[in-house]
Structure 1
Amino acid sequence: MPNMSPNRYDAIVVGAGMAGLQALHKLNSLNLTVKVVERLPDVGGTWLTNNYPGAMSDTESYMYRFFWDKEDLYTYPWPNRYLTQPEILAYIRHVVAKHGMRPHIQFNTEVTGANWDDNAKEWRVNTSTGEQFTGRYFFPCLGILSKPVFPDIPGIDGFQGALTHSSQWDPELNLSGKRVGVIGCGATGIQIITAIAPQVASLISFQRTPQYSVPAGNAPISSQQRAWINVHYDELIDQIWESMAGFGFIENPRPTMSLSAEEREYIFEMLWQYGSGMHFMMGGFGDFVIDPVANEEVCKFIRKKISQMVKDPEKARNLMPTEFYARRPVCDSGYYDACNRDNVQIVNCKDTPIAAITASGVRMSDGKEYELDALIIATGFDAFDGGFSSFPIRGRDGKLLMDCWRERPKTYLGIGCADFPNMFMLTGPLSPFGNIPAIIHGTSWPIFELIDKNEQREDNHVVEATHEAQSEWVELCDKCSECNLIQKTKSWLNSGNVKGEPGATRLYLGGFKGYKAFVSGMIENDYRGFRFM
């Protein structure tokens, strides 16, 4: 279909993070015209804004890639096992430059609304610049971790020191010699504490739910290791479809209690020394997140490690996790060593909750006040569906997406929604759990199979998920999570960290292998669950 005006395209993509750039590449490969609208001043999405000290991926470097540029996979340098935030951002910028993507992207432009026009069979996307872009396809690539969550604590707006959320970090913020507080102790909080503890005068870590953190095992990659990865790259990528979570290894199905206590201890120690949160959770045994007895065995091992590493008994008590080991696995590069420092204090907010944030610091429920120069909020994100509330998305008959998702997010395969024709998501709610680039890779497959088929038709080029298929997928996702301890443990994986959210599952926990089987069946059965109109 030829363009009829400068603002008319085949597809409109919102967001220039990794998912948006994947969509741009795939759409271009189908010779479709594309406009990418990005509110930020550059590409990178999450990796542009989350530039806090210590920010790093916990996915092995060779798996945090765009998988479609084989030459780049073999040649682009990555010196260590894991990538830091600056390295990831540099890589994304490199891909954008290499493939000439910038001319397709309009930066510093916020979307104010997206509406399906059923008469014209196209999406109309309105922006903060006053422009309207129209396109037959609409890709809201808004990011899994894009909407920050702030704690509901009285007085937070009245703090007179430096206040920052980890996702809105001010690069000019100088913490050297300052009295710093950190609220939150997930992966981000742990990375920040580890990075800034040697620089600050004092650090108060306010923790309500201590984490099970294992060593990251970050280290330089030797030339021999890189050569082996290059030789096996194709099979490592293909292996995603045989794995649970797409982190570069096949998870071990072995039941924890099938081994003796001595054998379990040996494997736990081997996993600990190897490093990597995901490998620790899934590389030695296969039932940590489905069997409470197995879960308690690994919990006891990590708790023992904490008690051995943390010298002060009171600090160790405040750092000791008590819940299931069933959140997104956390790993670190010296977190417990940082906590051992004399200038670091761990405050147990479960025993003594935060009562208020004052002009000069944080006051606890027992009246004790900690005076601070800076307060860092590391309380995470309203993940998966939170980003979709950033602007109204209206589908068929003016239906508002967030109204349709009021009780819970509902999608088909994590990629499409009933009543929202020609709208596709690459990391939408109820897509597979796993490595983000692998999710993007995995969901791209059915999306662009559908678009390719749609483009070969001679009629209106409209494709939409059915209500029946959407309900079936939601039911399957619920069934996969029924016995899973991840769903029983409040975290950002189920929006348990967001006040007022019902905590319904946000993920398909059947693994990439299960997802592949379902998608293959969908395609073989004439794209069952989608209707072409």
Structure 2
Amino acid sequence: MALASTPSSPSPQSPSTSPQRRDILIVGGGFGGMYAVYKFREMGLQLQAFEAGGDVGGVWYWNRYPGARVDLPSIDYSYSFSPEIEQEWTWSEQFAAQPELLRYIDFVAKRLDLRPHFQFNTRVTSAAWDESRQLWVVKTDRGETYEAPYCVMATGPLSIPKEPDIPGVKRFKGRLLHSARWPHEPVDFTGKRVGVIGTGSTGIQVVQDVGPQAGELFVFQRTPSFTMPMRNETLTPEYVDEVKRNYAGIREIARSSTVGGSRPQSTRAFFSVTPNQRRVLLEDAWKQGGLSMLGTFADLMVNAEANEHVAEFVRGKIGEVVKDPKTAEALKPKGYPIFARRPCLDTSYYETYNLPNVHLVDCITDPIVEITEKGVRNESGETELDILILATGYDGLTGAMMAFDVTGRDGRTVRQKWQDGPRSTFGLMLEGFPNLFMTTGPNGPSALANIIRISEHDVDWIADAITHLKKNGLATIEPTVQAEDAWMEIVRSIAQRSLINKAKTWWVGANVKDKPQGLTMFTGGFLKYREYCAVPSANGYRDFQFEPQMEAVAA
């Protein structure tokens, strides 16, 4: 494996008015975009990558909020394509915090010499297919134009921050912070009256970190979340050595798993064991921490009765930790299945509500009316604040691809194609958009599996498709209507059985006003997804359509 190759296509130093030609264009500088740059460079393709942020890192470049931490084990949440990087990098914690994740990303970028291929602080404003020349024409906010036969959208499922649908956000005269666009300098909460809107995964991390620092913390909870104890550990040198000796086996297990990671997955049905045995298993999972509980029983996301038993177990744990009975009751999620919203992990979330300066505002019984110049007004009255933190998430899965104009054949845009919800083949390609590829697209496993394993898989799939074109003298590839319909029917039929449909979350588009709702992610697991995706290359891409090079047509 060649590491740190000589750059084949360095970023331009100044804007150019004439189109710049490349072999492939890559949008996004997160884990998917970084691997795409490495993979296609090693294939000998002349490339250019674009990133809106000031450096590589994707969501971890932007998410610098207090308490930001990965919720998968660090050894899983890391690249597997380079044995050299696996051996040279050492994680310090079982669940890495954002600063360590950025150090890892920086290490990889330097080790592979990736940065020269990126143009940072650059947003792509449009991408259009030029059918007469069989090229993608990409324009940026710098006024530049790039052209290439292939375009890869490594924009990720969580890229476009969402402000709350609450009147008056812009009126607030205190300091307004969004978790997804956190400032790079530290924020001092000492003695401040701080409000947090949003109690999903991010909000939970913010609350447990800011609570002990703030003068007073007011948590405006609109939907309670289930959260499990993380049980984070510092990794010992002896354990790290064991991992490095066994990385190959760990990675193979991850690629062959449902979740794309090494978390244990049981085949045990909930009601196949006695009530006493179930209690013992749940207690053990709670002590183990992480997402152990999700893997304790095989049918938690398809058997509503089993799911409710586990949900009630967790509600009981909340009551054991939170001292004030009224607060504890308000924190207990009801009305949707456990794990139907993104599973959350915490270190001291429920304990934080035992602090005298931390106040839960239950917005179910006391709804938010508006944000004022001074703070937040609920039906019962106004809470004055110095700092307001919006932990209100993203326009997930489709937001990034619909944030700018992407135009395929016959002038049809992605916005038009997805007006009733996203559709694609494997979450990788779109009918009507030749040579346009996505990584971690909305119709793949996306948020339901390890995003780095998905990113590596998707980039490798794209590389195989491009290799097929080159070997056969073909110019373009795209799925047929029939292939796209067939894949979406598979996605739909499997999703029907999932309890994920029972919660109003960003997973189903419910957090964005007027967004089409529905579970469009592939819920069959990462291994099954890989098996489906392997079929085209094995059968000669018979469900895809191709065009020859224009030169061949002219001849």
**TM-score, structure 2 as length reference:** 0.93
Q: Superposed, which structure 2 residues align to 1:224-239 within 5 Å?
A: 224-239=238-253
How far did residue 41 of structure 1 move? 1.3
Deviations 1:5-31 (A, max 9, x none): 982100011111111111111111211
Pairing partner for 1:196 from 195, 210, 216: 210
Q: CA deviation at 1:523?
A: 2.2
Q: Take 2:532 and 2:86, find their aligned partners in 1: how far apart are those partners?
A: 29
Aligned residue type for 1:436: I
Is 2:254 the counterpart of 1:240? Answer: yes
Q: Which amino acid aligns with 1:353?
A: P
1:10 to 19, 23, 35: 23
Pairs within 5 Å for 1:75-154: 75-154=88-167
Q: State yes or no: 1:294 paired with 2:306.
A: yes
Check conservation: 2:501, 2:508, Cα contact below 8 A: yes
Question: Partner amino acid for 1:296?
Answer: E
Tell me the equivalent position of 2:3.
Answer: none
Q: Which residue of 1 aligns with 2:412?
A: 399
Displacement after TM superposition at 1:487 (Å): 2.1
> What per-residue deviation string (whole Å, max 9, x for no partner) do you get for residues 360-403 of structure 1?
0111123x111111111111111111111221000111111111
Match of 1:223 in 2: 237
On the 8 A contact 1:318/1:347 being kept in 2, the answer is: no
Quote the offset at 1:71 in angstroms. 1.3
Q: What is the rounded CA distance, in whole Å, between the counterparts of 1:143 and 1:56 in structure 2?
A: 18
The answer (yes or no) to whether the contact 2:19–2:145 under 8 Å persists in 1 is: no
1:530 aligns with 2:544: yes
Q: Which runs of 5+ in 1 are unaligned?
A: none
Partner of 1:187: 201
Kept in 2: contact 1:239–1:250 (CA 8 A): no
Q: Distance in 1 between matches of 2:542 and 2:190?
A: 59
Aligned counterparts of 2:217 and 2:297: Cα–Cα separation in 1:
37
| Structure 2 residue 456 is matched with structure 1 residue 444 | no
CA contact (8 A) 1:470 1:529 kept: no
Determine the structure 2 residue equivalent to 1:515.
Answer: 529
Instruction: Write the distance in 1 (CA, Å) between the matches of 2:65 and 2:490.
Output: 38
1:17-416 to 2 correspondences below 5 Å: 17-172=30-185, 173-277=187-291, 279-282=292-295, 284-322=296-334, 323-325=336-338, 326-366=340-380, 368-416=381-429
CA gap of 1:486–1:528, structure 2 versus 1, over 3 A, is farther
- 1:513: Cα distance to partner? 1.8
CA distance in 1, matches of 2:264, 2:454: 16
Aligned residue in 1 for 2:550: none
Secondary structure, counterpart of 2:489 in structure 1:
helix
Task: Indicate the RMSD between aligned Cα atoms, in angstroms.
Answer: 1.5
Check the 8 A contact 2:260/2:527 in 1, yes or no. Answer: no
CA contact (8 A) 2:28 2:52 kept: yes
Point out the more displaced range, 410-419 or 167-176. 167-176
Give 3-state SS (helix, strand or coil) of 1:62's partner: coil
Q: Distance in 2 between the 1:99 and 1:445 partners?
A: 17
Distance in 1 (alpha carbons) for counterparts of 2:112 and 2:460: 20
C-alpha distance in 1 between matches for 2:496 and 2:321: 36
Return the offset for 1:240.
2.6
Q: Which moved more, 1:122-131 or 1:491-500?
A: 491-500
Deviates more, 1:467-476 or 1:439-448: 439-448
Letter in 2 for 1:311: K
Q: Is the 8 A contact 2:176 2:389 kept in 1?
A: yes
8 A contact 1:430–1:505 mirrored in 2: no
Identical-pair percentage = 36
Partner Cα distance (2:165, 2:495) in 1: 28
Q: Is the 8 A contact 2:217 2:358 kept in 1?
A: yes
| Structure 2 counterpart of 1:300, one-letter code | E
Q: Matches of 1:347 and 1:108 in 2, distance apart?
A: 38
SS of equivalent residue, structure 1 residue 52: coil
Aligned match of 1:491 in 496, 499, 505? 505
Equivalents in 2 of 1:529, 1:504: separation in Å? 26
Q: Secondary structure at the match of 2:401?
A: helix
Once the 2 structures are TM-superposed, how far is the Cα of residue 529 of structure 1 from its aligned partner? 2.4
Paired with 2:396 and 2:414, the residues of 1 have a C-alpha distance of 16
Deviation at 1:494, TM superposition (A): 1.5
Shift of 1:250: 4.4
